[in-house]
Structure 1
Amino acid sequence: MPAIERLPKKVRQEQLKRTIEQNPFVTDEALMKQFGVSIQTIRLDRLELGIPEVRERIKSIAAGVDEVRSLAIHEVIGEVIDLQLDKSGISILEIGTEHVFQRTGIARGHHLFAQANSLAIALFNSDKALTASANIRYIRPVRLGERCVAKGYVRPTSKKGVARVDVRTYVGDELVVEGHFIIYRFAAKDEHELHKGGVPDAHRD
């Protein structure tokens, strides 16, 4: 593998700033690999440019998000850092030892599903929401220490109380999980309808 060409400091810092503006979730480690310099150099570049570390950038993004209504915030798997109810949202899940198979260090699929599914439910400005169906595709294994960024988008349907949600999960710029959900949303006063007729057939729209 050919060595990465070292850029002049000014050029590197300009590209570094542009990279972080395009992807605020990028880590110092990923930037180190991208620019072929030490982690200390990346940190010094950020300090000179006045760019905070990734956790501070995430916190600043999360400060202005809508509040989750359809479930308790601790029930969302991952940290919600962007939420526009009934439109879109983003959550981040750091893959730790509790998420992986001990022998392989590969993330268990149900954790990745739970991140995508709970984000899909959290998107709605409703008292409650339920998953009617889910179609998940795991594109490549996710490993210990990786950061999963799930991005969800609401796709309204013509059927009342039913919506489609597309969720795509990335590690860096690489798509690792793709999910398509049918979500039934309802107010607390309508909960008795579930006992009468069940979740409506979301596919007849």
Structure 2
Amino acid sequence: MARLNRVERQRKLAEALREDPLQTDEDLAQRFGVSVPTIRLDRLHLGIPELRLRSEGLARLSVVHTRTLKRQDMIGDLVDLVIGQSGRSLLTTDESMAFAGSGVVQSHFIFAQADSLALAVVDGDSAVTGLANAKFKHVVEAGQQIVAGAEVIRRRGNRWVVLVISRVGEITVFRGKFVVLTDPFDGHRHAERDRKEGALS
């Protein structure tokens, strides 16, 4: 895009972050053709907080709407959710998640973020993962932020198929399809209740 003057760039920056608050300073710098420090100065001038604080604010607004998981069960911060359709979460990685010496984040943290997001987007009082087809596409280094996006692509009864794609910036680091079962114990509870009622009659 053509180089914008400072006022116009800041106006478009504010619009871009209203549309998608999870864009990184690096993403925005590339989009507007300026340096990362310039984007940070623009944010400061506009009173827009850094990504971590923006995601925490979104998480406080969104997490109350999930049915299947409590906040403490989520891996990463849930920042956007339309139950039965889609959602996004953000995981800020650190050294405690990485292999000693290499700084590479261990894969089970990446999987756990995606799995908990898949469970969060489906509509039910409870949910479990029945099957997962996972592909780890790129290494993640400690300190990087992973944005996972989930979309329900198919549903049949209490069986949901959820696609989750996780990215660091523009790089896809994980892709997985999850088969999620909602209210999986209802049939067992009903059978147990019928058995007890039959024994009492």
Shared fold (TM-score, shorter chain, > 0.5): yes
- In the alignment, residue 95 of structure 1 is paired with which amino acid? T
- 1:45-93, CA deviations, whole angstroms, 9 ceiling, x for partnerless residues? 1132342332332244334425332233212111111122111111111
Cα shift at 1:29: 5.7
State whether residues 127 and 188 of structure 1, in contact with CA within 8 Å, keep that contact through their aligned partners in structure 2: no
- In the alignment, residue 120 of structure 2 is paired with which amino acid? A
The match for 2:136 among 113, 135, 138 is: 138
- In the alignment, residue 76 of structure 1 is paired with which amino acid? M
Following the alignment from structure 1 to structure 2, what is the Cα–Cα distance between the partners of residues 97 and 15? Answer: 35
The match for 1:24 among 21, 24, 28 is: 21
Look up the match of 2:99. Answer: 101
- How do 1:110-149 and structure 2 match up within 5 A? 110-149=108-147
1:51 aligns with 2:51: no
1:164 aligns with 2:161: yes
Cα shift at 1:99: 1.1
Q: How many residues in Structure 1 have an aligned counterpart in Structure 2?
A: 189
State whether residues 165 and 176 of structure 2, in contact with CA within 8 Å, keep that contact through their aligned partners in structure 1: yes
> What's the Cα RMSD here?
2.9
- 1:100-146, CA deviations, whole angstroms, 9 ceiling, x for partnerless residues? 11121111111111110111112223222111110111111111111
State whether residues 90 and 145 of structure 2, in contact with CA within 8 Å, keep that contact through their aligned partners in structure 1: yes
Following the alignment from structure 1 to structure 2, what is the Cα–Cα distance between the partners of residues 148 and 110? Answer: 13
State whether residues 161 and 184 of structure 1, in contact with CA within 8 Å, keep that contact through their aligned partners in structure 2: yes
- In the alignment, residue 138 of structure 1 is paired with which amino acid? F
The match for 1:62 among 59, 62, 73 is: 59
SS at match of 1:152: strand
Larger deviation, residues 100-109 vs 179-188: 179-188
State whether residues 154 and 163 of structure 1, in contact with CA within 8 Å, keep that contact through their aligned partners in structure 2: yes
User: Among the aligned pairs, what percent are the same residue?
Assistant: 34
Following the alignment from structure 1 to structure 2, what is the Cα–Cα distance between the partners of residues 102 and 85? Answer: 38
Which structure has greater helix proportion? 2
The match for 1:89 among 83, 87, 90 is: 87
Following the alignment from structure 1 to structure 2, what is the Cα–Cα distance between the partners of residues 105 and 77? Answer: 20
Cα shift at 1:191: 4.2
State whether residues 127 and 187 of structure 1, in contact with CA within 8 Å, keep that contact through their aligned partners in structure 2: no
SS at match of 2:99: coil
SS at match of 1:165: strand
- In the alignment, residue 132 of structure 2 is paired with which amino acid? A
Structure 1 gap segments, 5+ residues each: 196-205
- In the alignment, residue 190 of structure 1 is paired with which amino acid? G
Cα shift at 1:164: 0.3
The match for 1:71 among 69, 72, 75 is: 69
- In the alignment, residue 99 of structure 1 is paired with which amino acid? M
